[in-house]
Structure 1
Amino acid sequence: MERDQDQLGRGSTAERVAGVLRRRVTEGDIPPGTRLSEEVVGAALGVSRNTLREAFRLLTHEWLLVHELNRGVFVRTLDGDDVAQLYRLRRLVEGAAVREVAGAPDRVIEEIRASVEEGERAAAEQRRPHVATADLHLHHGIVRLAESPRLADFMLRFHAELRLAFHAMGDLRRFHAPCLIRNRELSAALKARDAQQAELLLSVYLVDAERQLLRAFADREPLSSSG
């Protein structure tokens, strides 16, 4: 975790530690159900136990971690209800953001296009987890069309929870491969400043993605109840 220690910088705080762990979750490095040992994580990041516990508390409030009595701290495992709530929020926030595309800065449009290419390269190189990460980068770019730093920061935290839902798919290629074409189409609509077309493409994308995830969670339920 050397690069994580670099990110902490001088005078590391619980917020910075939480930021490192949040990023690791968002990038798919820490899957749901992972136990976070205070000893192991604290030593890896070079922080005190008190600082780490405060970071765990912050991430628990963000719905990323859960404390289980006499067992420790774990990365949350989501269910179908979580997915439904996450996608309802995505429709509200991202749907509103694309309507702001007419006045959005060119640099945000370019960042969205770069995220599309990032995902396509990752798919071509069989770096499947990075396809999901690129997809989240694109959708964070969509939120930034609204030019609200507070909203963009909120969605960074939200996307970490969303990444936990993606793990239910198992084969991320099956989930994200169709998105590569849709993301290219969505990027083109945004570049053309066509808010109506972009909102339509985004709406269809989100409905289909939610349906796939809910189906995946439903398929997992008998396994979890029997075991």
Structure 2
Amino acid sequence: MINTLSLADQITLELRADIIGGRLLPGMALVENNLVSAYNASRNTIREALHRLGQEGLTRYVRNKGVMVRRLGVDDVRDLFKVRRALELQAILGSQPLREYQSDRMLEALEAADLAREREDWRSVGTHGLAFHQHVVGLMRSPLLDEFFTNVVAQLRLVFSTAPDEACFQAPWLARDRCIHDWLAEGDRLAAYEAMSLYLDDSEQLLLQLLAATHHP
């Protein structure tokens, strides 16, 4: 298959992946000169990639500082969870019992998260946990929704990065993700739906509390 992505497309995807992987954190500067060197790209190409990240809500321009990875606030979190409920809960409601490849993808993400937890690599735990939720949305088999949700995941990652104790924040979710997988595998959509609905409620409240504590010590 011929790669039709432009260099700006590729750089945008790589920088977004760095955000999802927790390698680019809120408040970090994306220095144009450094990116030109790192990607062996023209200044215009780098500017185009940074502009796209801004359109996706992942970066913002700060006067006298340049382009920085965005810090998200309370309203952003509430909006992200509206989207999560619309997509993840709809994906579950419309799902059939998982096909083997669908189950395998989910289990692969969960097992990677478990291994990261054993290494106490909590940043990776969060990244693999989000991958599980991407596979849930993937049940709708819509490339457009998959692409859109990838951007949602990147924004969520930026919120996770504000946790002062990522171990404490990430630890509770793995067992709950596994339960959701098991309900889906058994074809019990109602149980999976209820588990995911409660999961999203709890996760949103925790993130809102986390942001409140961060901004009001």
Asked if the contact 1:104–1:146 (Cα under 8 Å) also holds between the matched residues in 2, the reply is no
Q: Please state how far the C-alpha of 1:206 moved relative to its aligned partner.
A: 0.7
2:31 aligns with 37
Matches within 5 A, 1:127-146: 127-146=121-140
Q: Does 1:164 align with 2:158?
A: yes
Matches within 5 A, 1:1-227: 12-102=6-96, 105-223=99-217
**RMSD between aligned residues:** 1.5
Q: Please state how far the C-alpha of 1:14 moved relative to its aligned partner.
A: 1.1
Q: Please state how far the C-alpha of 1:11 moved relative to its aligned partner.
A: 7.7
Q: Please state how far the C-alpha of 1:12 moved relative to its aligned partner.
A: 4.6
Flag the structure with higher helix content.
Answer: 1
* Paired AA for residue 195 in structure 1: R
Cα deviation, 1:26-71, whole Å, max 9, x if unaligned, reads 1100000001100112211111110000001011000000011222
Query: SS at 1:102's partner residue?
Result: coil
Identical aligned pairs, as a percentage? 32
Query: SS at 2:161's partner residue?
Result: helix
- Structure 1: which 5+ runs fail to align? 1-8
Equivalent-residue separation in structure 1 for 2:102 and 2:166 (angstroms): 26
- Structure 2: which 5+ runs fail to align? none
Q: Please state how far the C-alpha of 1:10 moved relative to its aligned partner.
A: 9.3
TM-score by length of 2: 0.94
Equivalent-residue separation in structure 2 for 1:44 and 1:130 (angstroms): 24
Q: Which runs of 4+ in 1 moved over 3 A?
A: 9-12
Asked if the contact 1:42–1:48 (Cα under 8 Å) also holds between the matched residues in 2, the reply is yes
Asked if the contact 1:36–1:73 (Cα under 8 Å) also holds between the matched residues in 2, the reply is yes
Q: Please state how far the C-alpha of 1:143 moved relative to its aligned partner.
A: 0.3
Equivalent-residue separation in structure 1 for 2:103 and 2:5 (angstroms): 35
In 2 relative to 1, CA 122–154 (structure 1 residues): closer, same or farther, beyond 3 Å? Answer: same
Query: SS at 2:123's partner residue?
Result: helix
Equivalent-residue separation in structure 2 for 1:23 and 1:30 (angstroms): 9
* Paired AA for residue 85 in structure 1: D
Equivalent-residue separation in structure 2 for 1:15 and 1:143 (angstroms): 23
Query: SS at 2:61's partner residue?
Result: strand
Asked if the contact 1:102–1:194 (Cα under 8 Å) also holds between the matched residues in 2, the reply is no
Aligned residues: 215
Asked if the contact 1:168–1:213 (Cα under 8 Å) also holds between the matched residues in 2, the reply is no
Q: Please state how far the C-alpha of 1:176 moved relative to its aligned partner.
A: 1.4
Equivalent-residue separation in structure 1 for 2:87 and 2:165 (angstroms): 27
Cα deviation, 1:201-227, whole Å, max 9, x if unaligned, reads 11111111111110011112235xxxx
